[in-house]
């Protein structure tokens, strides 16, 4: 655990210290977000913060490779190398888009190429569980590759879609990857695996990268992560969640009557990033019904709706943090509990109560105004 904490601290420190340098470069090269109708920021703000996050990623993985405990991950598995290569590709794609906006088709093609590179280099879904027969079956390459690429691209766009308020994407991603780290580490402990795993390492580094960037990005932001950052963090989150499916031991689950507990390990990644996935799904449905492109921007995301009912951008961001934490850590707690249904129901209930309270307080604020 101490080496994980060290890698987390190095990733956070390098990201934090390199962010002012990247901000200066962004201003110099003209990578500045001007004010648009759908934006919340009030002054032009530099973007391209993903470059600093990439530096934190590289530093964290380099330190891990030199530590006696975590170096096993770098020697025996290809995931860290694959993630660093693919992360560099998608960060450069985002940096180009931050400076010279790309059309949606070109951006999507670049996302698929980066995700495909990561998957072909070794980060793939491993197997799935069939609760009806109580059997585990492995994915062949013809299934694992497209499913893994699809999952990565969806997560990249989910993080990209929620990057609309200062500190929102970085904070939600930090919470999600912290929950993923806890899940991956506990899975290894419970099943008596070696505790150095690619999933836990990638989650720890990603959490550090986001935490290191957050002081510069929280309201009022001095630098936006831009597409270079949101797409990088989405790819890193996808990598840790895809990798963790290969660690799950289903030997403790028996019979069709245990179908729900046996499926929870696959539901944890969805619960951890339920907020961006929900926002992505609602955006696609909304834009498709309006006969617009799913990638066409608008001002109807969840955080925009929270602000419309009278909440400040900081309160909207904090609520999204709480919601992400409840769902993420609630899903992880349920996966290790003998009563997963009760924990899931309690978690969802708390989230709904919080949402109702927030909506009511927002309506009161609007009436007072």
| Residues 45-72 pLDDT 10s | 898 999 999 999 999 999 988 888 888 7
- Give tens-digit pLDDT for 4-29: 999 999 999 999 999 999 999 999 99
**Residue 252 pLDDT level (bands cut at 50, 70, 90):** very low
Alpha carbons 213 and 209: distance in angstroms, whole number? 6
Tokens of 204: 């720890």
Alpha carbons 353 and 333: distance in angstroms, whole number? 20
Asked if pLDDT for residue 164 goes beyond 60, the answer is: yes
Q: Which DSSP category does 70 fall into? A: T
- Give me the mean pLDDT over the 29-49 stretch: 74
Indicate the length of the chain as a whole number.
Answer: 369
Chain center to CA of 358: 24
Higher-confidence residue: 354 or 53?
53
Q: What are phi and psi of 190, to 5 degrees?
A: -65, -40
Share of the chain above pLDDT 70, in %: 68
Neighbours of 116 (CB within 10 A): 18
Higher-confidence residue: 137 or 369?
137
Asked if pLDDT for residue 271 goes beyond 70, the answer is: no
**186 cis-preceded (ω within 30 degrees of 0):** no
Asked if pLDDT for residue 91 goes beyond 60, the answer is: yes
| Number of domains comprising the chain | 1
Alpha carbons 173 and 164: distance in angstroms, whole number? 14
44 exposure class (CB count in 10 Å sphere: 0-12, 13-18, 19+): exposed
Neighbours of 333 (CB within 10 A): 19
Sign of CA dihedral 11, 235, 266, 295: positive
Residues with Cβ within 8 Å of residue 313, at least 6 apart in sequence: 40, 165, 166, 219, 303, 307
Helix, strand, coil percent values for the chain (each to nearest 5): 70, 5, 25
Alpha carbons 107 and 310: distance in angstroms, whole number? 34
**Residue 273 pLDDT level (bands cut at 50, 70, 90):** low
- Give me the mean pLDDT over the 292-321 stretch: 66
**Residue 350 pLDDT level (bands cut at 50, 70, 90):** confident
What integer best gives the mean pLDDT of the chain? Answer: 78
Alpha carbons 314 and 323: distance in angstroms, whole number? 14
- Residue range(s) defining the domain that contains residue 294: 2-368
Say what the pLDDT of residue 357 is. 63
Q: Which DSSP category does 66 fall into? A: T
Asked if pLDDT for residue 333 goes beyond 70, the answer is: yes
Chain center to CA of 341: 25
Sign of CA dihedral 98, 100, 106, 109: negative
Asked if pLDDT for residue 243 goes beyond 80, the answer is: yes
Residues with Cβ within 8 Å of residue 164, at least 6 apart in sequence: 40, 301, 303, 304
User: Which residue, chain included where needed, has tokens 């696609």?
Assistant: 284
Beta bridge partners of 257: none
Alpha carbons 48 and 56: distance in angstroms, whole number? 14
Tokens of 171: 């904070």
Provide the CB-side half-sphere exposure for 203 (13 A, CA): 23
Tokens of 215: 């002081």
C-alpha dist (Å) from residue 337 to 1, 80, 101: 23, 31, 47
- Cβ distance 63 to 102 under 8 Å? no
- Cβ distance 214 to 15 under 8 Å? no
Q: Give the three-class secondary structure for 167.
A: coil
Asked if pLDDT for residue 131 goes beyond 60, the answer is: no
Q: Please name the helix (run of DSSP H) or strand (run of DSSP E) that holds residue 128, with its range, or none.
A: strand 127-130
């Amino acid at each position: 655990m101490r080496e994980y904490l060290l890698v987390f601290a190095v990733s956070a420190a390098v990201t934090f210290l390199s962010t002012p340098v990247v901000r200066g470069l962004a201003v110099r090269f003209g990578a500045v977000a001007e004010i648009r109708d759908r934006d919340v920021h009030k002054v032009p703000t530099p973007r391209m913060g993903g470059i600093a996050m990439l530096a934190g990623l590289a530093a964290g993985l380099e330190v891990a490779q030199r530590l006696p405990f975590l170096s096993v991950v770098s020697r025996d598995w290809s995931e860290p190398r694959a993630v660093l290569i693919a992360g560099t590709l998608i960060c450069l794609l985002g940096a180009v888009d931050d400076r010279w906006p790309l059309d949606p088709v070109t951006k999507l093609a670049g996302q698929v190429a980066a995700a495909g590179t990561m998957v072909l280099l070794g980060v793939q879904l491993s197997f799935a569980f069939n609760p009806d027969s109580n059997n585990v079956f492995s994915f062949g390459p013809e299934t694992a590759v497209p499913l893994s690429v699809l999952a990565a691209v969806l997560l990249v766009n989910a993080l990209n879609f929620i990057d609309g308020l200062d500190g929102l994407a970085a904070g939600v991603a930090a919470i999600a990857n912290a929950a993923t780290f806890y899940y991956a580490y506990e899975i290894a402990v419970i099943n008596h695996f070696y505790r150095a795993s690619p999933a836990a390492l990638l989650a720890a580094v990603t959490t550090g990268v986001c935490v290191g960037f957050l002081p510069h990005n929280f309201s009022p932001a001095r630098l936006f992560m831009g597409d270079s950052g949101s797409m990088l963090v989405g790819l890193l989150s996808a990598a840790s969640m895809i990798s963790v499916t290969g660690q799950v031991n289903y030997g403790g689950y028996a019979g069709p009557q245990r179908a729900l507990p046996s499926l929870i390990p696959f539901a944890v990644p969805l619960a951890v990033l339920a907020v961006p996935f929900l926002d992505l799904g609602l955006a696609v449905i909304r834009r498709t019904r309006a006969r617009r492109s799913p990638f066409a921007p608008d001002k109807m995301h969840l955080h925009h709706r929270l602000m419309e009912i009278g909440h400040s951008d900081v309160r909207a961001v904090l609520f999204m943090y709480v919601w992400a934490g409840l769902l993420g850590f609630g899903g992880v707690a349920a996966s290790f509990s003998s009563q997963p249904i009760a924990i899931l129901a309690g978690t969802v209930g708390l989230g709904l109560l919080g949402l109702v309270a927030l909506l009511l307080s927002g309506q009161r604020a609007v009436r007072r105004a």
